[in-house]
Structure formats: structure tokens, C-alpha cells
Amino acid sequence: MEYGFFHAYNINKVKNMRHFTKILRIFAAVQTNQSKSMEIQNLLSTIQVCSLEELSAEEQNAIQLALEGTNRSYTPYSKFHVGAGVVLNNGQEFVGCNQENAAFPAGICAERSALFAAGAQFPQEPVKILAIAARGTDGELTTEPVSPCGTCRQVIIETETRFHQQLIILLYGKRCIYRVEGIRQLMPLSFTEF
């Protein structure tokens, strides 16, 4: 099996704001039979690349929650501080942060800690926004956006499936913010679907 990546950029006008849309195409070549040619499948993800000022007030607030979470994390091993902010449909807000443990499977990522806290307090309320930010080992906010790990992506898929609603996912970096409409843009071949 062969894989290839291609990046393209489009500029879209959205509500009089200039958004840069980054399109990632993943080409997966699948050999179906030794005597047949390989089939190419194109998977397309769309990610808006924007500044903080281009986000709605509610989205900006979610970013602030994530930034706050980076200061609460417990990371004695990796020294990589991740924070997450969750906003529910009813306006309730939650902060999550990564919590490490010497037995690595016992730790938890910021995204899951925020989503699980929200689910414990408001089990019937859909999640509207998930924002993620990180501080590197130098203690500074990362220049580029940081994306969720595979386990967190699967939890986000389950959250969308549970409530039959896509989340707005905001990945913060000092240079730019990635605004993603639905987890399938980050994980197109998901285990479950709604």
C-alpha cells in the first residue's frame, strides 16, 4: 500500500471575513489483486486557518478556556502542557488538562478530561465547541496548532455520534488557529458514524 499527501490552499469569503481554507488530500493506493492495477481513493479534509479575531466571541472564549487549561496540567514526565475548553449547547463551560502518571496508561489527555467532565455534569447536553491549546517543554505556547491524539479523536467521534451533532474543533497556535467543522475532517475513516 502506498500513501501520498498533497496540500492545497483556497481563500474563501465567509461572513465578510477572510478565511484561509487548507485542504489536505490523502491518497491511498490499494492493491486489490496482483494482476489488477491499484485503485486510488481520495480523502478530502477541509480546515479553516484563521486568526483569533476571525472567530466568534463564543469560539474565542473556548480558546481562552483551553489556554487556562495549559496552566493547570500535571506533566512531570513530558513537560508538554495541554489544555482543552468545552462549551455545551446550553452555554456551560468546562476546562480540561492533561494529567500524567508514571504508569502512562493511567494518565489522561486534556480533551478527554474536559469532555468527560462535561458528560458527567450534563449527560444529556450536546457539546458545541472543543478548543485545544498547548505549551511546549519551554513553557511557551506552541507556534503551530496541536491536534488530538488518536484516542481523543475516537472519543470525539463518540461524542458527535451520541448527540448526532458535529463539534466545532479549534486547534490553537500562536501563528494561527485551525477551525475544524466535525471530527471527520481530522479522522475521515472513523470506527463509528451517525
Residue 178 and residue 131: Cα distance in Å, rounded?
10
CA distance 54 to 52: 5
Q: What DSSP state is assigned to residue 103?
A: S
Phi, psi of 121 (to 5 degrees): -85, -35
Helix (H) or strand (E) holding 119: helix 110-121
| Residue 58 annotated in active site | no
93, 111, 144, 193: the active-site residue: 111
Quote the CA–CA distance of 68 and 56 in Å, as a whole number. 19
Q: In degrees to the nearest 10, what's the CA dihedral of 185, 111, 143, 170?
A: 50
Spatial CA neighbour of 168 closest among 180, 178, 160: 180
Distance of CA 114 to the CA centre of its chain: 13
Residues identified as active-site? 111
